[in-house]
């Protein structure tokens, strides 16, 4: 809607570690094979952060530094920085504050949002509110996870899926009809049973017993998550279309969470949306949790055109899920 202020993405930049963990590497670590992983998930390799002393905040820092350079933004101009992550550097303080320090964003404040694979969606919708209400004019939203820090590399159910990465967007006000237009975000905490990390929080604080029981790793009931993911992503895209009086033909791109290629194709089939206009990079990075959506935006940035109707959709631990409708701004 022209004249109304929307928060528009005016730049995106990503960063992934150089080290690759291929399906063939995994064949030597657990009872699996390239054929199974490729056909059941679409993943061929993932990136793993191995730089000594580096953690999630360092991946965020690299992504944000690139973003600032690309958009000609000075660190001191940033008002706010939000990080969607479940693998922050420490339980506290939050990673966003660490990133502000590392990039020299002296005038910014920030915080983390823990919504697992929906972390970037929740963070983007949150950041957009501050811009749309004219509270702030430069908000950075990052999705980042160092999943390798919470993956059990003896568990073939999870270790073949996840990888590390980070990507960031800059949100600024626009009055030309571009920007974040609408969103449907959902949550159902009863899903925590099917996707979680059991220990390390206040329910099961770290102890010799929790370490011995391997409870500091991500665990999931993959089949259960799969079914809910397809349903949750599809239904929130449909709600957005209805609310905005759009049909699927009005959508130029769908940017789905990259958890499993079969989930992505199933969502596209349910929506009767052509796969050529679905962003996909899962074969290279696997599931980077909160980083998948902005990494896709980064990768497809050159193919998007100003005015394109784009729907972002994700599903993750919590359960958390939802979709965001935005009009591309450049
Ligand atoms: O991002 C949000 C969080 N996560 C997700 O969205 C993930 C959702 N779930 C999935 O992507 C899939 O459920 C998985 C990829 C995790 C598993 O695929 P699946 O087709 O649901 O396989 P399954 O768990 O039903 O297992 C089928 C068979 C089993 O063998 P049996 O019992 O039929 O003999 C597994 O033990 O495949 C076996 N299996 C494997 N075989 C080789 C499970 N993992 C592997 C593996 N390599 N890595």
- In tens, the pLDDT along 251-299 reads 999 999 999 999 999 999 999 999 999 999 999 999 999 999 999 999 9
Q: Which of 6, 13, 196, 257 is catalytic?
A: 257
Name the residue of 40, 191, 192, 194 to mutate for ligand 1: max ligand atoms within 8 A of Cβ.
40
Question: What's the confidence (pLDDT) of residue 288?
Answer: 98
3-state secondary structure of 219: strand
Query: Tell me, what DSSP letter sits at residue 318?
Result: T
Ligand 1 centroid–CA 47 distance in Å is 20
Distance CA 41, CA 33 (A): 12
- pLDDT attached to residue 2: 61
- The percent of residues above 70 in pLDDT, for the chain, comes to 99
Rounded Cα distance between 45 and 37, Å, is: 10
- 38 CB-contact burial (10 Å; exposed 0-12 / middle 13-18 / buried 19+): middle
- For ligand 1, atom 5, name the residue with the nearest CA: 259
pLDDT in tens, 161-176: 999 999 999 999 999 9
C-alpha to C-alpha distance for 75 and 65, rounded to whole angstroms: 9
Q: Which of 143, 169, 141, 5 is nearest to 71 (CA)?
A: 169
Residue appearing with tokens 């320090």: 101
C-alpha dihedral (19, 22, 27, 28), degrees to nearest 10? -20
Low-confidence ranges of the chain (pLDDT < 50): none
**pLDDT score recorded for residue 1:** 58
Is 228 near ligand 1, meaning CB less than 6 Å away?
A: no
Q: Which contiguous run of DSSP H or E holds residue 322? A: strand 320-327
The alpha carbon of 195 and the centre of ligand 1 are apart by a number of angstroms equal to: 14
Place of tokens 């504050």: 97
pLDDT of the residue at 158: 96
| pLDDT confidence of residue 3 | 77
Q: Tell me: the pLDDT tens digits for 187-217?
A: 999 999 999 999 999 999 999 999 999 999 9
CATH 3.40.47.10 assigned to 181-286+298-327: yes
Q: Where exactly does CATH 3.40.47.10 map onto the chain?
A: 6-180, 181-286+298-327
What mean pLDDT, rounded, does the chain reach?
A: 97
Q: Is 257 a catalytic residue?
A: yes
Question: What CATH class has 6-180?
Answer: alpha beta
User: Which of 168, 36, 183 is CA-nearest to residue 103?
Assistant: 168
pLDDT at 297: 98
Which contiguous run of DSSP H or E holds residue 84? strand 80-84
Sign of the torsion angle spanned by Cα atoms 280, 95, 12, 319: positive
Angle of CA points 181, 166, 330, to nearest 5°: 40
């Amino acid at each position: 809607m022209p004249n109304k202020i929307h928060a528009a993405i005016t730049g995106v930049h990503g960063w992934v570690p150089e080290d690759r963990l291929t399906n063939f590497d995994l064949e030597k670590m657990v009872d699996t094979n390239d054929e199974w992983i490729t056909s059941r998930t679409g993943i061929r390799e993932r990136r793993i952060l191995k730089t000594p002393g580096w953690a999630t905040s360092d991946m965020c820092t690299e992504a944000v530094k690139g973003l600032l350079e690309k958009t000609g933004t000075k660190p001191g101009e940033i008002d706010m920085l939000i990080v969607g992550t479940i693998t922050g550097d420490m339980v506290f303080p939050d990673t966003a504050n660490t990133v502000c320090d590392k990039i020299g964003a002296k005038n910014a404040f920030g915080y983390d949002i823990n919504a697992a694979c929906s972390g970037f969606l929740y963070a983007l919708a949150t950041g957009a509110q501050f811009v749309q209400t004219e509270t702030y004019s430069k908000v950075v939203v990052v999705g980042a996870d160092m999943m390798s820090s919470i993956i059990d590399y003896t568990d073939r159910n999870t270790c073949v899926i996840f990888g590390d990465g980070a990507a960031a967007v800059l949100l600024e006000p626009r009055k030309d009809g571009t920007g974040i237009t609408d969103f449907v975000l959902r949550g159902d905490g009863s899903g925590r049973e099917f996707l979680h990390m059991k220990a390390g929080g206040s329910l099961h604080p770290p102890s010799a017993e929790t370490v011995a029981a391997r409870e500091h790793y991500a665990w999931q009931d993959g089949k259960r998550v799969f079914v809910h993911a397809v349903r949750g992503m599809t239904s929130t895209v449909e709600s957005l279309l209805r609310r905005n009086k759009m049909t699927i033909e009005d959508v130029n791109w769908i940017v789905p969470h990259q958890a499993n290629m079969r989930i992505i194709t199933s969502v596209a089939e349910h929506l009767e949306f052509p796969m050529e206009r679905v962003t996909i990079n899962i074969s290279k990075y696997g599931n980077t949790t909160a980083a998948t959506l902005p990494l896709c935006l980064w990768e497809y940035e050159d193919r998007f055109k100003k005015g394109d109707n784009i729907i972002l959709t994700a599903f993750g631990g919590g359960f958390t899920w939802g979709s965001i409708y935005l009009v591309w701004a450049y």
